[in-house]
Structure formats: structure tokens, C-alpha cells
Chain A
């Protein structure tokens, strides 16, 4: 699965999170930080992770979620790593 394909999928998830400023999703890059740039409430990160598991058909380890950073790159890396592990 290509990284851009994963980013596009993440954007689809983020469109459903109403507390995120939707206009900022247009220029999303791997360096975009969910909390600093998108102003995502930190409590929403677990919801985004759970939806990513469903969308990309993976199951994250709890430790990986605990250690997850807040950039788009962090979650793309985790999705790829989890898929490879499977």
C-alpha cells in the first residue's frame, strides 16, 4: 500500500472528525501535526487510531498506540509497520 494512498484514507477519516478545521485538510502532508496544526483535541487521537484500524484492516498493539506521535507520518509509519508485521 502506497504512503499517499494511506494519507488519502486518513483524510477521509479526518473529514468525519467534526472538531477538526476541515479547510486545513486540503494541504495535509506527512509533516502535518494533528494537535499543533489541525488543533485536534488530544482525546480524539484514539478515535482516529480506531478508525484507521478499521479503514486499513489492521490491529494496532496498545503499546504502539501509547507511543504514537502526533504527526501524519507517525500514523502512516505505524499502519505500514503493522501491515508488515501481519
Chain B
């Protein structure tokens, strides 16, 4: 349970962001109201075998990286070169692309936090970073060479395990920064990013660690993309910048994107005592399950219970609710109505940053938390791009006799969702993310006063 008097501050952040070279460019483009979603030539190359061809992807070159391809297995990235000299070759040799982004993001977050080497390398410093998918890019070649081409296991080399294992991102970061505390990965599908940070928050709040590098990552991978493409849940038929359209009546799926968000968390009094710049304070984190026995369909009651657990007996009255808002037909409607059911229909705005960069899957919750910290810093609510028309009719589930939620159609809550940037006083933001399996995560953060 929570140790008496302990609070948690966010003191650093970093990562990898679509169509941006770094966090500064990400911030600049977000608050210029730009979309970071592009046509993806890698998807388009597969012609009619793939439905969706837009993504918030990140190329190796955009991150200053270059793949060194194996002479033994065609198309296998044996290792990478970091042209910006951030990550040593030895660490690169055990990493897939997502793990490299995690290492770069962790370096940035620790630098911003201002931790000394002794603090970073302490037994009181942990690493908690997870990914939605496996190391698909690495595994595909290894498996193809063994199973299809009938070649020896050694053809893919000796790094398929460390570059593809579930907690590869955390392990690679830990080996880079040499912390001596906890090193783990939490997996909860599209709630992974926020789930890892929530778990890290508890490690500090419960007195187990003083500092944690935490976040989520989803390395660019067509292997990941095609799974969702086959489910027919990806946006189709819009120009790239118009393809992610949370709450709009013509939304028809999410945009599969990639990225990495890492934050440095520190026990509040310790951060304050050393004069750290505190970016935000975490008020609370709560997670639960729908308990509805449904892998995919969102649950109104599960989301309401999530809010109740988050609020508890705390004063949580956010000026902004940063929603999951994926641009899927059912998900957006249930979420908007569950927020309204708890928060009422005035006094706050809804931010759906996936409208600008798509759905980064295992990285989504972490990058969107960073987005929320930026909104606190700028005192601006990011625009919900493409939310042109909200449904003037009731959703079909609202017509059911069992429905006990808000009675107005989505259009009745138009005033909560702005297509333009809103400048206003923002002291508190609640962040929401959900994942397959009926898992729900919520975190409230406040401006440091």
C-alpha cells in the first residue's frame, strides 16, 4: 500500500515520434495543429493484399539509425549504426528498433531529470518499459529461415532472443543506464504505455523505488500493422492527414502508428529537495478490467468503475480529459458517454491526440501522457482534428432499454471537443487508455504549483 507522505513527480521525458526528429519538433508540430500521419510506402508496396496504407510511422533514417543487413539471411537487420553516436555498438547489438528508441528516450529523460550517474545507477532506480507487440521484425526472419528455408538456427545469429523477448526494451535500457533496482515490463495491449508508468508510479508511491524510468514503445513494424489490417479495424479511404478522425460520424477505424514515450519519475520530496524542474505531479493511477468476458468490445460500466477508482476520495476536477479516442465507431461513442456520465457536460475539454498522430499501440499511453504534460506546460488544449460532424442521432446502444448512460446523442457534447487549439487555464489532466482484453487505465496529473 501507499507509504505515508510519498508523492510522485514527473521530472524528465523523451522518446521517438512520427515524422519528428525529437521531442521539441513533436511539440512544435502538435501545437501548430499538424497531422503526423503519412502515406506509408512500405504498406502501399503490398498492393491489394493490404487494406490500409496510412500510418504515423518512423523510419530508421529519421532517428539517425542505419540497419546493417546480414550476409547470411536476406533482409535481416543484423545490427544498427547510430549515426548520432548516442548508443554504444555493444548495446545496439542486443536491440531491435523499439529497444533503441527506448534507450534514446531514456537518455533524454534522464538528462532532463538531471540525475547524477550515482542516482541513475542506484539500487533505488528502476526501469519499467513495455511494448504492445513482440520483436516481430527479428522473429520473422529467424523463423522463416528455419521453418521455411530449412536452414540452421545459427543463420539468424545469436541475438534473436535478446532482441525479441517480451521485456527487451526494459532490459536494453537497464543494460545501458546500469541501474540496480527493478527492471520489468508490463503488458496490457493498448494500455501498455500508461500501464507501465502507472506501475512505476506505484513502485515509488509504495516506497519500493525512489526513481523509475518508465514508458511504452512500439517499433515500426509492418508485421504489427498487418494483424490489425486483417481485422478490418484500420482507417480506410481518407487522405493521410484526415484518416484519424475521433468522434466524427464518418470515422471507420484507427490509424496504426509507431513511437516511444519515456518519462523519468522521482519521489516528489527528493526531486524538490535537489531543485529539479518538476514537469507535473501524479495525483493517482487506477486500472481495472471490464469483467464483461469480451476481448474487444469496450465497456461503459468498466470505464465508469475506472473513473470511480481513480477519483476515490481525491479532489479530481480536470480541465482536460485526454481520452483514448482511437477513431473507431463504437470505442469513441462509449468513451465520450462514459466521460460525460462521470464529469457532466461542462467545465472541461476533451483532447484526443490520436487525431494528430494515430494509435501508437503499446506506446500510445506513454506518448499521450507526454502530450498531456505538454498541454499543461503550454496551457493549451490540442485540437481534435477531423472531428467535423458528431452524430445527431442516438447510438444504437443508447436505444436499448438497459442503457443507463447519457441520453443525448454525441452531437449534444460537441462543445467539449474542439477542432481548434483552446487556450485556457489547465491545472489538471486525466489520461485514459484501454486495451484488448477489457483492460482500462487512468492517470491524473497536475501542474506543479
Contact = CB atoms under 8 A, between A and B. Distances in A.
Interface of A: 16, 18-19, 41, 43-47, 49-51, 54, 65
B61 interface: no
A51 B152 CA distance: 12
8 contacts: A18-B68, A18-B79, A19-B90, A19-B93, A41-B90, A46-B157, A54-B72, A65-B154
A2 B314 CA distance: 79
Given A41-B93, A47-B154, 12 more contacts: A16-B71, A18-B79, A18-B89, A19-B90, A43-B158, A43-B159, A46-B154, A47-B78, A50-B152, A50-B154, A51-B72, A54-B72
B155 interface: yes
B336 interface: no
Interface of B: 68, 71-72, 78-79, 81, 89-90, 92-93, 152, 154-155, 157-159
Contacts of A46: 154, 157-158
Contact of B68 (A16, A50, A54): A16
A50 B93 contact: no
A50 B155 contact: yes
Contacts of B78: 47
Contacts of A51: 71-72
B357 to A, nearest CB: 32
A57 B18 CA distance: 43
Contacts of B159: 43
Contact of B89 (A19, A47, A49, A65): A19
Of residues A44, A49, A50, which shows the largest number of chain B Cβ atoms within 10 Å of its Cβ? Answer: A50
B92 A18 contact: yes
Contacts of B93: 18-19, 41, 44
Contacts of A50: 72, 152, 154-155, 157
Nearest to B156: A50
A51 B71 CA distance: 8
A38 to B, nearest CB: 13
B81 to A, nearest CB: 7
A46 B152 CA distance: 12
B71 A47 contact: no
Contacts of B155: 50
A29 B79 CA distance: 27
